[in-house]
A and B are shown apart, each in its own frame.
Chain A
Amino acid sequence: MIRTLAGAAIVAALISAVLGTLAAVAGARLRRTTLVRAAERAVFANFWLMTLANLAMVYALVTHDFSVSYVAQVGSRSTPLFFTIISLWSALEGSILFWGWVLSAYTAAAVWLHRGRLGTLVPYATATMLAVAAFFFILLVGPANPFALVSPAPLDGPGPNPLLQNHILMAIHPPFLYLGYVGMTVPFAFAIGALLSGRLDAEWIRATRRWTVVAWAFLSLAIMLGMWWSYEVLGWGGYWAWDPVENASFMPWLTATAFLHSVMVEERRGMLKVWNLSLIIATFLLTILGTFLTRSGIVSSVHAFSEGPIGMYFLVFIVLVTVFSVALLAGRSSLLGGEGRLDSPVSRETAFLVNNLLLTAFTFTVLLGTLFPLVAEAFRGVKVSVGAPFFNRMTLPLIMGLLFLVGVGPALPWRRTPPGHLRERFLLPLVVALAVLGLSLALGSRDPYALLAFTFGGFALSVNLGEFVFGTRARMRAQGEAAPLALVRLVRSNSRRYGGFTAHIGVLLLAIGVAASSAGRVERQATLRAGESMSIEGYEVRLRNISAWEEPQRFVVAAHVDVLRGGEAIGGLDPRLNFYGGSDQPITTPAVRSRPHEDLYLTLIAFERDGSSATVAAVVEPLVGWIWVGGVIVFLGALLSAVPFERKRVVVGAAAEPLDPEADALETAGAAR
């Protein structure tokens, strides 16, 4: 029953996506409002159909309907309800189903907000989003059908991948990642729409930028949450391993970041049109490439589910999108002439240009390192891995350049810099930077990259915070407002600008956290009997005892450890090993004592079966917590810069732009109803 219903919903969604695509293109070409309206209705229908299919899956999961193939694959009667629900995205088919829902929701939101505006751009964009959706619906009907029949239905299933049911972050990280990843489809659709309709004006930029910021905000948060999950679950005390899966999420982030900066140059100076369109298209392609890498089983990781024909579908899709986009860019190049030009090498534009060069080089590096092992294996038949040494060596100089720009860029004026400006703006940040450098040296930091990161970070933090201080002061003087009110009004008056600075501050905190925790990391291992202890960085880690117990879905072995400092007990930590579903492969569950200045991170590596001793790894890392705080600030800053506070949606071009004269009548009739 549920299978038939959901299967029908997916097929209906596929049909309506295909018909909607055709209707939107025809409507835009023939200027027929009725066809465009039909495409819009297809968009909303898709949203409801996908909502239905997803709810059906959740229902099947919760009721343990093992005749549904996906439930038989990831369901288990012993898995707690919460993890049963979120196992919607814990394997291939379910994650594509969820992807389809997020995409249909984004499409519906974009069409709802922009319908009847921007001329033929929106119908073309609608067609693009529906075509992308159709691709995912084809996957759901064919190679990734989650509602296939299992007969006879098994009585119970194996449950989701143990790694994915071991931590609450698994409920949060994937949805945000989808919101970020799938969200990049909207700016891509607007880019294609702009190319097809020939409309690349200020309103196009505004709409595209805003959708990119929204997706970027979610993607940033999702990447940070993925790092946090890795830290809290994988048990090696790290959060980033340059794993193909991490790289897959990082590459579109880099190109989207480049776009968010270079689009300002286009807005102000009319330059870089082709470049900006290329960045959006690249961002979308990288999200699809990332999905291909993580979903095709071509790289092995917790995200790669199983090998199947699905990889071929993705490759074909990637090739089609690339050929179509490049041909379109080339065919429309006459529209894309630049208007402005660089006036001076010391200006905001130059800072953005260098920022873009660095981010592009960064993307290329990550792409090369990620794809090289695949290419080497395919063409030379050798198994190689490109690990952290390559990525660190290549990207650290680029990261330092970017940190430098985050400090310098915001303080540089557009066009050219008047004499004396640099001294005025940079004197205080320079003092702060040198003070930070002195402090880091005094605290014993010797790693050159870490020292650079702290120095540039200190400089950039004071520049970006300074923007808030100067602006608030100016308002206090000019309007006679109290400081808090002046700050709030300042931010509201230009939320886009101050949201940007907020995101900078978050990125800087994150970068400082990464630099400090990787350069200052200290690790020790010891095998301890009850009552024995090891010391690390002033902590004494003493094993009290080991215990084990059974829970419905797992079997737990925990070491109970007392943490002492200067002979005084300051708390207890219980690193554990969890065994799921009768597997003898334990899932490490580290125990972390987190403080603003450093984390103490304990992992239970192994234990004697009689409980007499345990091997424990202890890691002390400075400033790890800054990474998570920084990530949240980036997210909030980006959202702030996407929200129009004072400038409501009545801006330029807000008047509906009918495709044909009849549309006016239609609009009025619609409004009357």
Chain B
Amino acid sequence: MIDPDDATDSALEQRTRPSRRPLLLVAVAAAALIGFGFVLIGGLDENIVYFVTPTELLAKGSAAYDAPVRLGGQVAPGSVSWHADALDLRFRMTDGTGDVEVHSAVAPPQMFRDGIGVIVEGRLTRAGVFESDNLMVKHSNEYRAPPEGHAPEDVYRSLIREGAP
């Protein structure tokens, strides 16, 4: 497909010079690359965070303690205890079969409520409580009608009346 004569329209001058320098350079670069590859794999090994459900977490037994994971499930209805003044949140996360008690020292987002899907990042302590560093409400970008009584107009009507600017 490539016409060798094409080369003639280049102003390029070919020079083939026997030399060991480039070979050495390539060898050094390759060694550096392989070394760096090992460092990378090591770094990955130590910093991967697995995504698990409560059942999967509990199935790990004592191996689950103090290992950073992302835990995903639903907020068990009626289990939420939130002390706004102390910024202390406790709830049970369930996936239908297993459930884990979660504690967080940061405020839950506005959408947080019974039954909603959440993901927490953190680790299971030896006391059997999951200490969360970060809590995210799971939501989809596709629009879905909010459940009964949760449309913003319904919920915040009182605010409009009282605090209109």
Binding site for B on A (CB under 8 A): 29, 119-120, 158, 161, 196-202, 302, 305-306, 331-332, 334-335, 337-339, 341-342, 357, 361, 364-365, 368-369, 372, 376, 382-387, 389-390, 393-394, 525-527, 545-550, 555, 557, 577, 579, 581-586, 605-607, 609-611, 613, 615, 617
Within the assembled complex, what's the spacing in Å between the Cα atoms of A357 and B25?
A: 12
Q: Is the CB of A199 within 8 A of B151?
A: no
Q: How large is the interface on B (under 10, 10 to 19, 20 to 34, 35 or more residues)?
A: 35 or more
Question: Please, which residue of chain B has its CB at the minimum distance from the CB of A392?
Answer: B47
Q: Does B61 interact with chain A (Cβ within 8 Å)?
A: no
Q: Chain B nearest CB: distance from A59 CB in Å?
A: 25
Top 5 A-B residue pairs of the complex, sorted by shortest distance between their CB atoms: A547-B163, A383-B51, A390-B47, A527-B84, A548-B159
Question: Which B residues touch A581, using CB under 8 A?
Answer: 143
Q: How far is the CA of A527 from the CA of B105 in the complex (A)?
A: 12
Name which residue of chain A comes closest to B137, CB basis: A585
Contact A120 B9 (CB under 8 A): yes
Grouping DSSP codes into helix (H, G, I), strand (E, B) and loop, the A interface class, with mixed when no group exceeds half, is mixed
Other-chain residue from A306, A335, A555 in contact with B10 (beta carbon distance below 8 A): A335
List of B residues within 8 angstroms of A372 by Cβ = 44, 48
Partner of A577, one of B84, B110, B137: B110
Known: A545-B163, A586-B110. A364 touches B36 (CB 8 A): yes
Instruction: Answer whether residue B11 sits at the interface, using C-beta atoms and an 8 A cutoff.
Output: yes
A334 touches B14 (CB 8 A): yes
| Subset of 29 A-B contacts with CB under 8 Å | A29-B3, A120-B6, A198-B6, A198-B7, A198-B9, A199-B9, A199-B12, A305-B141, A306-B142, A341-B19, A342-B25, A385-B49, A394-B40, A525-B87, A525-B107, A526-B87, A527-B84, A555-B152, A555-B156, A557-B156, A582-B145, A584-B155, A585-B137, A585-B139, A586-B110, A605-B109, A610-B158, A610-B159, A615-B87
Interface centre among B144, B152, B163 (most CB of A within 10 A): B152
Which residue of A has the minimal Cβ distance to B150?
A584
Cα of A545 to Cα of B109 in the assembled complex, Å:
19
B112 contacts across to A, CB distance below 8 A: 606
Whether B16 sits at the interface, judged by CB under 8 Å, is yes
Q: B39 — which chain A residues lie within 8 A by C-beta?
A: 394
> In whole angstroms, what is the CA distance A375 to B15 when docked?
43
A341/B21 contact (C-beta < 8 A), A357-B32, A368-B44, A584-B151 known? yes
Nearest chain-A residue to B108 (Cβ)?
Answer: A606
Q: A394-B39, A611-B162 are in contact. Are A161 and B141 (CB under 8 A)?
A: yes
> Shortest CB–CB separation between residue A333 and chain B, in angstroms?
11
- Quote the shortest CB–CB distance from A304 to chain B (angstroms): 8
* Contact A335/B36 with A582-B145, A584-B155, A586-B110 known, Cβ cut-off 8 Å: no
Contacts of B51 in A (CB 8 A): 382-385
Beta-carbon contact of B11 and A201 below 8 Å = yes
Does the CB pair B159–A383 fall under 8 Å? no
Q: Knowing that A372-B44, A585-B111 are A-B contacts, what are 20 other residue pairs whose CB atoms are under 8 Å apart, sorted by A's residue number? A: A119-B9, A198-B9, A198-B10, A199-B9, A357-B29, A369-B44, A376-B48, A384-B48, A386-B44, A390-B44, A394-B40, A527-B107, A547-B159, A547-B162, A548-B163, A586-B110, A605-B110, A610-B159, A611-B159, A613-B84
A586 touches B111 (CB 8 A): yes
Pair B44/A547 contact, Cβ less than 8 Å: no
The answer on a CB contact under 8 Å between B49 and A609 is no
Query: What are the interface flags for B40-66 relative to A under an 8 Å C-beta threshold, 1 for contact and 0 otherwise?
Result: 100110111111100000000000000
Assuming the A-B contacts A197-B6, A547-B163, A555-B153, are A384 and B49 also in contact, with contact meaning beta carbons closer than 8 angstroms in the complex? yes
Given that A384-B49, A579-B152 are contacting pairs, would A607 and B110 also be in contact in the complex, using a CB cutoff of 8 Å?
yes
Enumerate chain A residues within 8 angstroms of B70, measured Cβ to Cβ.
Answer: 385
Q: Which residue of B lies closest to A548 (CB)?
A: B159
> Which residue of chain A has its CB nearest to the CB of B139?
A585
CB within 8 A of B36: which of A338, A361, A577, A615?
A361
Q: Is the CB of A365 within 8 A of B150?
A: no
Report the bound CA distance from A548 to B161 in whole Å: 8
B interface, CB within 8 angstroms of A: 2-3, 6-16, 19, 21-22, 25, 29, 32-33, 36-37, 39-40, 43-44, 46-52, 70, 84-85, 87, 106-112, 137, 139, 141-146, 150-153, 155-156, 158-160, 162-165
Whole-angstrom distance between the Cβ of A605 and the nearest chain B Cβ: 5
Q: How many A-B residue pairs have CB under 8 A?
A: 173
Q: A547 with B32: in contact, given A198-B12, A394-B40 (CB under 8 Å)?
A: no
Give the residue name and chain of the B residue nearest to A613 (CB).
Answer: B84
Question: Is the CB–CB distance between B2 and A332 below 8 Å?
Answer: yes
Given A393-B47, A527-B85, A582-B151, A337 contacting B160 (CB threshold 8 A): no
Which of A198, A335, A606 has the most chain B CB atoms closer than 10 A to its own CB? A198
A548-B159, A609-B156, A611-B158 as given contacts; A200 in contact with B47, CB under 8 Å: no
Given B2, B142, B160, which contacts A548 in the complex, CB threshold below 8 Å? B160
Q: How far is the CB of A127 from chain B (nearest CB, A)?
A: 13
Chain B residues whose C-beta falls within 8 Å of the C-beta of A335 in the assembled complex: 7, 10, 12, 14
In the bound complex, residues from chain A placing their C-beta under 8 Å from that of B49 are 384-387
CA distance A143 to B162 in the complex (A): 50
The answer on a CB contact under 8 Å between A606 and B160 is: no
Bound-state CA distance A577–B152 (Å) is 11
B residues in contact with A369, CB < 8 Å = 44
A158-B143, A331-B2, A394-B40 known; A201-B12 Cβ under 8 A = yes
In the complex the two chains form, what is the Cα distance from A586 to B7 in whole Å? Answer: 62
CB distance from B81 to the nearest CB of A (A): 14
Whether A393 and B43, one on each chain, are in contact in the complex, defined by CB atoms closer than 8 angstroms, is: yes
Residues in A neighbouring B146, C-beta threshold 8 A: 582-584
Cβ-neighbour of B40 out of A202, A365, A605, A609 (below 8 A): A365
| A390 with B10: CB separation less than 8 A | no
B87 to chain A: closest CB distance in Å?
6
Q: How far is the CA of A475 from the CA of B46 in the complex (A)?
A: 56
Residues of A near B52 (CB, < 8 A) are 383
Closest residue of chain B to A387, judged by CB? B49
Known: A302-B141, A384-B49, A581-B143. A557 touches B159 (CB 8 A): yes
Give the CA-CA distance A581 to B144 in the complex, in Å.
10
In the complex, what residue of chain B is closest to A582 when comparing beta carbons?
A: B151
- Which chain B residue has the least Cβ–Cβ distance from A161? B141
Contact present for B22 and A547 (CB under 8 Å):
no
B40 adjacent to A368 (CB under 8 Å) = yes
Chain B neighbourhood of A198, CB < 8 A: 6-10, 12
**Nearest CB in chain B to that of A382: its residue:** B50
Q: How far is the CB of B152 from chain A (nearest CB, A)?
A: 4
Determine the chain B residues whose CB is within 8 A of the CB of A617 once the complex forms.
107
Contact yes or no, B10 A200, CB < 8 A: yes
B110 with A338: CB separation less than 8 A: no
Bound Cα distance A334, B152 (Å): 68
